[in-house]
Structure 1
Amino acid sequence: MIGVFLIFYGAIMTISPTCILHVAQAWSTDSLEISALRIIRGSLIDNMNNLKSWSKGDPCTSNWTGIFCYPAPKDGYLHIREMQLLKLNLSGTLAPELGLLSHLEILDFMWNGIHGTIPKEIGNITSLKLLLLNGNLISGPLPDEIGNLYNLNRLQIDQNQISGPIPKSFANLRKIKHLHMNNNSLSGKIPPELSRLPILYHFLVDNNNFSGYLPPELASLPSLKILQLDNNNFSGSSIPASFSNMTMLVKLSLRNCSLQGAIPDLSQIPRLGYLDLSWNQLKGPLPSKLSIDITTIVLSHNYLNGTIPLTFSGLPKLQKLSLANNLLTGSVPSSIWQNMTFNTNDTLLLDFQNNSLTDISDDYSPPANVTILLYGNPVCDSENQLDIVHFCQLKTISEASRNSTKSKIMCRRCPVDKDYEHNPLSPMQCLCTVPLGVGFRLKSPGISDFRSYINDFEINLTSLLHLFVYQLYIDSFIWESGPRLNMQLKLFPSNVSVFNVSEILRLRGMLAGWEITLSDVFGPYELLNFTLGSYASDIPDTSESGLSKNAMVGILVGAVAGAIAVSVAVTVLIMRRYRGYRAISRKRSSMRTSIKINDVKCFTFEDMARATSNFSNSTQVGQGGYGKVYRGTLVDGTPVAIKRAQEGSVQGSKEFSTEIELLSRLHHRNLVSLVGYCDEQDEQMLVYEFMPNGTLRDHLSAKCTEPLSFSKRLHIALGSARGILYLHSEANPPIFHRDIKASNILLDFKFVAKVADFGLSRLAPGHDAEGITPGHISTVVKGTPGYLDPEYLLTHKLTDRSDVYSLGVVFLELLTGMRPISHGKNIVREVKTACQCGLMFSIIDSRMNAYPSECMEKFISLALGCCHDETDVRPPMSEVVRELENILHMMPEDATSEALVTDSSKIVSVSFVSSESSGADHLVSSGIPAVAAR
């Protein structure tokens, strides 16, 4: 009996536990464009005649599904050394039997659809050097047993849904150089034990949920070059002074980590090229001295004060100095670029927006390569500064992509039998050649402007690949959130029309096998795809592994020990189960095309029914125009919120896919996280992280028994504003939400606000043919009455200030507890009228606790400013965030004791008296007057 078990239906099913990968998936010819199936080295090659596979039709021309299993060799284990299945659309789960592959050195399932957990048995493969699972749908915790892999060099689990802490056992990975765990849901404290890793180069854990303190022990990592911890929550922690001892560090990125205190002395880090400490609560002066190799300094959105040091003029490689949204005073420096030499592609961005800079030299004329932003500084308000008006306009700077350009030399047309192109960089420009396509991403580059480093990159990569520089053409590049740099490359043959097969295999092996290391300034890379194109038909039937071409396309792998044991009884049970599932599935509409979004988990209807006890009424937590919302629990125990569309829902397929596409690439603590979706059986469901405290509208409702305090309302307002500011300025490309309202602001267990529901969102406009970015999108009016920007309603012109208006209405709801429109009354008009009549405090929510009057006045003023009828008069979201931060700085730091802090030099001790106590329900203070809610 041959160990082959076949399933040719379209569903993923659990099969014999002897298969390495539990998987079934449809295939098409597109798979040929992706990286090699490099499975076999060693004795398995000697037994290739034992391999069996099955397909329905020709796997190169028709879709098929199957399970491939391999019979166990006589000695009881398999001699596989490499298992690389890069971006082959595999789905299913990793089986515990992977632990049987005791000779395995490379386990590479990158960029597939694998879900489930990482089996602890992987810890048995002590020969493993590369464990590459990034870009899947893997969830659950990290097994402690991974710490047993003492030969492991690279661990990549980024862009999954893995949760829980980093096991302390990872400190045993003494040969690890690369820990890439970013873009997951990891939580807890970062273990200080990791400081024992002697040769760790790259530690990337950004976009997770880490908390606690920032371990000073990390400074003991002797070889660390990149430390990237962005978008975590080390609330109350400061940047350890010991970080100044990290002498090998090239990049330090701690953006949006809730860090406090002063910036330590970093002048002793000789090779530091990239520093990002933005979006924290750092105070004190700017660093006076940094490495002369530094290219990027981003310290914006903090509370840094003092003047801009003149020492910044001694940084010859500087590309970006962002100090926006701080408390800086003094003069605008005019000498930063004086010691710099600018080539054609060299640029320098100086972003000083929203500070308190008051002076500028009389002759302020930077070279054309320098961009200066001064908007929001007093210097822009001076009447005698008309010559700097172009520096004072509000701008957002983003690096444009580099697009391919056609050769200007007139050449004959190339043959059409292959994907011929003229290489625009070749000394033989009219030679028709067939390039290879390479998707390539720099995961943590130490630069902010790639244009001036293009030549360095081309020389670096081609020298590592043993190519001439003109053989590499950068077709395009674009910055992604992180920041990460996504590039589409073309590799051209050298003075011949086509690559030979051995050269293709060599290049593919070097890129897919991590056999090159780029210069430190470019950081680690990842291969996104290796497109064979016309070469797919030229690859011989027998590859390095001995596999036929059909097997390379068709095998959904699995080396097994003992598939012979699969019984007929198990098969019958599975088929019965599946027939039952198919009977339920028949009602799925044949008219609707199911969507597929990369990097987002697709759940089955059965998964959703199981998670909600078959959509029991007891699990329902809400209902709206879109449908019902249920609380569910996934098979791994993760609590989720499931939004199920009802038939004839307001939200159509376009909005459904829009929300999935947008949320899949947005990562911010104040945006709700999308776990996955379901799109089958005429059902549309979105699966979010569960928000135990519901919506903001719930807590403003008269039915709420525990009303929000003023302090909590301010924090909710700030969190919401930060999330929207991220959409407007940090997302790439920027996004207009278009449906901001109290019911779309969710609250987690700590009452942290998270903006949700992106079904109506629109991408901000891009550059037109003249390089000008329009300020609006002309579109059909959509949104919720009461929150709609009146100018958008009249002109159909959607702008970022349309979101500002909607958020202003939410602020008014926070202040009054009213609905936007109730019994014919409009909340904006009601509040404006009350303020004009001197009755400002009469419309404050009577259930609110006492509040400082000055803080309340500022909040009301901000809310009404956001709701101004004229678009241009409304503040940008960056100003909204800054004003809310200033108001909160006037509020108590300790929300429980409610001690009132007016500024850094004056602290007034006060106490709040509960309305239940005898006496009064007002704020007692000898300082700032306060009023109780009426």
Structure 2
Amino acid sequence: MPASGRPPGSWQSPPGPAVARASPPSLAPPARALGENLPIGVIVGVAVAGFLMALASLFIVACLSDRGKKQRPPMRKRGTMVVPAGAPDSYPPSNGPAASPSDTNSYEFTGYKSCFTYDELVGITGGFSAQNVIGEGGFGKVYMGSLGDGRRVAVKQLKVGGGQGEKEFRAEVDIISRIHHRHLVTLVGYCVTENHRLLVYEFVSNDTLEHHLHGEGLPVMDWPKRMKIAIGSARGLTYLHEDCHPRIIHRDIKSANILLDKAFEAKVADFGVAKLTNDSMTHVSTRVMGTFGYMAPEYASSGKLTDRSDVFSFGVVLLELITGRKPVDSSQPLGEESLVEWARPLLVDALETDDFREIADPSLECRYSKIEMRRMVEAAAACIRHSVTKRPRMVQVWRSLDVDGGSTDLTNGVKLGHSTAYDSGQYSADIELFRRMGFEDDLDTAEYGLSDEGEPGPGSGRQRQQRTAAGR
């Protein structure tokens, strides 16, 4: 075959020795020539096909993984709705997940609302067993319960009378369920039927402020704890008054409605419950009995409640923290049974002389911060003013107590003790009138937390009334 017959594109070596030229030509083309003969389109096609196969494999793996997740059984939570919450101290319903309370041992319920059936609550409370009763108040009994996952709850069984219908009740509960704050007891869920109205709350394990201040055989609550509780509960009430829409007036502020966790952080309970009953006669007779000793003067005379009525009641709680005395104590000398009337002149004297020994709890043995004591005394004196308009707002009270809140003027331009002329005897007569109206109601007040008292003992309505009035 002549040299000119080489396939086109073959490489021709340069002239060399004769021996090299004499060798017979190879029948196979060089390796490089084979690669160069493949069309570029084939190479590109193979690469694209490989890439597509890799993508398909990844898609199949992702689908199988997602299918496995969907087949997992969901959490058994009937009617659960996540309610967003906010900052660690204030939880409006639209700013992300809620922070947990400071007590790491308490159960986290914040952010959940659940509708329970009556049969479920029967099971949770052991058939509403008397052994599970942990409190009883003007609105009904409170039972200890346990959810399926072991979390404890407090089930409040409201008395059903001439109250709201189912639609109105659900609307009110929906408002309460959206309120989340580290110093307010969280509503876990509710139950509403034709004959039953029940509220399910988180269980707060360290009982009430009333228990720790006035319970027998308990260690003396030191001053730092008292100040911490005052500030915390003031924050919770400020949130109800200032940051809730619609604004919520508590209507029953008392030491028995301030629950404590293991770290002695305060949690205000029972807010919004008064509106759920909506029974005017029951409200007047039982609620006033339940709050005897905390009642604002204008409520005793007219039955009207405002946010400043809450402020007055909170002032009585502050007096309990300062003095260690009950709101009404029949064991005290005649004329000194009422904490408010006994403390009023002492508060003024203490602030004028800067000497708090006469007003401070003797069991503290003067072991308190004088600066903090003055703040609390000033706040208490301003809160229990006779004149509604001269009392501070709750936010002012909180700021005056909080170490980081700075100085707040609570006088409203009026010197303490000179807000208005007031007939103390008429106030006592008005209270006595309400006491007679609630004559037959037994209103032991420990609610939601553990109680050291059992079922109410036998006795006449008058005896039970006197026990309640004494703050037991």
Which residue of structure 2 aligns with residue 710 of structure 1? Answer: 223
Which residue of structure 1 aligns with residue 292 of structure 2? Answer: 785
Which residue of structure 2 aligns with residue 700 of structure 1? Answer: 213
1:794 aligns with 2:301: yes
SS at match of 1:711: helix
SS at match of 2:134: strand
User: How do 1:380-459 residues align onto structure 2 when only pairs under 5 Å count?
Assistant: none
Which residue of structure 2 aligns with residue 30 of structure 1? Answer: none
One of 108, 115, 118 as aligned partner of 1:605: 118
Aligned residue pairs, count: 310
One of 308, 321, 336 as aligned partner of 1:814: 321
1:760 aligns with 2:274: yes
Structure 1 position 642, deviation (Å) = 1.1
8 Å CA contact 1:735–1:761 kept in 2: the answer is: no
- State how far apart, in whole Å, the 1-side matches of 2:130 and 2:224 are: 35
- State how far apart, in whole Å, the 1-side matches of 2:200 and 2:95 are: 29
- State how far apart, in whole Å, the 2-side matches of 1:831 and 1:629 are: 33
Once superposed, what is the RMSD of the aligned Cα atoms? 4.0
Q: 1:810 to 1:761 in 2, by over 3 A?
A: farther
8 Å CA contact 1:673–1:689 kept in 2: the answer is: yes
Structure 1 position 715, deviation (Å) = 1.2
- State how far apart, in whole Å, the 1-side matches of 2:217 and 2:346 are: 25
- State how far apart, in whole Å, the 2-side matches of 1:792 and 1:660 are: 26
Which residue of structure 1 aligns with residue 466 of structure 2? Answer: none
- Once the two structures are aligned, what percentage of the paired residues are identical? 38
Q: TM-score, with normalisation over the residues of structure 1?
A: 0.30
- State how far apart, in whole Å, the 2-side matches of 1:703 and 1:234 are: 28
1:660 aligns with 2:173: yes
- Residues 595-614 of structure 1, C-alpha deviations (whole Å, 9 max, x = no match): xxxx8422223222222222
- State how far apart, in whole Å, the 2-side matches of 1:690 and 1:709 are: 24
Structure 1 position 678, deviation (Å) = 2.5
SS at match of 1:613: coil
- State how far apart, in whole Å, the 1-side matches of 2:298 and 2:356 are: 26
Q: 1:626 to 1:234 in 2, by over 3 A?
A: closer
SS at match of 1:733: coil
Q: 1:734 to 1:230 in 2, by over 3 A?
A: farther
1:886 aligns with 2:400: no
- State how far apart, in whole Å, the 2-side matches of 1:208 and 1:637 are: 26
Which residue of structure 2 aligns with residue 122 of structure 1? Answer: 70
Matching residue's letter, 2:344? K
8 Å CA contact 2:400–2:406 kept in 1: the answer is: no
SS at match of 1:828: helix
8 Å CA contact 2:234–2:398 kept in 1: the answer is: yes
User: How do 1:149-188 residues align onto structure 2 when only pairs under 5 Å count?
Assistant: 158-159=82-83, 182-183=84-85
Which residue of structure 1 aligns with residue 362 of structure 2? Answer: 846
8 Å CA contact 1:858–1:887 kept in 2: the answer is: no
- State how far apart, in whole Å, the 1-side matches of 2:258 and 2:227 are: 14
Matching residue's letter, 2:347? C
- State how far apart, in whole Å, the 2-side matches of 1:697 and 1:123 are: 50
Q: TM-score, with normalisation over the residues of structure 2?
A: 0.56
Structure 1 position 693, deviation (Å) = 1.1
8 Å CA contact 2:213–2:324 kept in 1: the answer is: yes
- State how far apart, in whole Å, the 1-side matches of 2:253 and 2:224 are: 21
8 Å CA contact 1:738–1:761 kept in 2: the answer is: no
Which residue of structure 1 aligns with residue 379 of structure 2? Answer: 862
User: How do 1:529-678 residues align onto structure 2 when only pairs under 5 Å count?
Assistant: 600-645=113-158, 652-653=163-164, 660-678=173-191
SS at match of 1:630: strand
Structure 1 position 869, deviation (Å) = 0.8
Q: 1:733 to 1:627 in 2, by over 3 A?
A: closer
- State how far apart, in whole Å, the 2-side matches of 1:612 and 1:620 are: 9
SS at match of 2:148: coil
Matching residue's letter, 2:99? N
One of 347, 369, 376 as aligned partner of 1:835: 347
CA radius of gyration, larger in: 2
Structure number with higher strand proportion: 1
- State how far apart, in whole Å, the 1-side matches of 2:149 and 2:124 are: 10
Q: 1:862 to 1:669 in 2, by over 3 A?
A: same
- State how far apart, in whole Å, the 1-side matches of 2:217 and 2:170 are: 34
Structure 1 position 704, deviation (Å) = 5.3
Matching residue's letter, 1:859? M
Q: 1:741 to 1:659 in 2, by over 3 A?
A: farther
Higher relative contact order (CA 8 A, sep 6+): 2
Segments of structure 1 that go 5 or more residues without pairing to the other structure are 1-100, 106-119, 126-130, 139-156, 160-181, 184-205, 210-226, 236-598, 763-778, 891-934
- State how far apart, in whole Å, the 1-side matches of 2:294 and 2:82 are: 38
- State how far apart, in whole Å, the 1-side matches of 2:317 and 2:226 are: 11
User: How do 1:230-309 residues align onto structure 2 when only pairs under 5 Å count?
Assistant: 232=99
Structure 1 position 632, deviation (Å) = 1.0
Structure 1 position 208, deviation (Å) = 8.2
Structure 1 position 759, deviation (Å) = 1.6
- State how far apart, in whole Å, the 2-side matches of 1:694 and 1:869 are: 32
User: How do 1:727-738 residues align onto structure 2 when only pairs under 5 Å count?
Assistant: 727-738=240-251
Structure 1 position 872, deviation (Å) = 2.1
SS at match of 1:841: coil
8 Å CA contact 1:714–1:888 kept in 2: the answer is: no
Matching residue's letter, 2:358? S
8 Å CA contact 1:739–1:761 kept in 2: the answer is: no
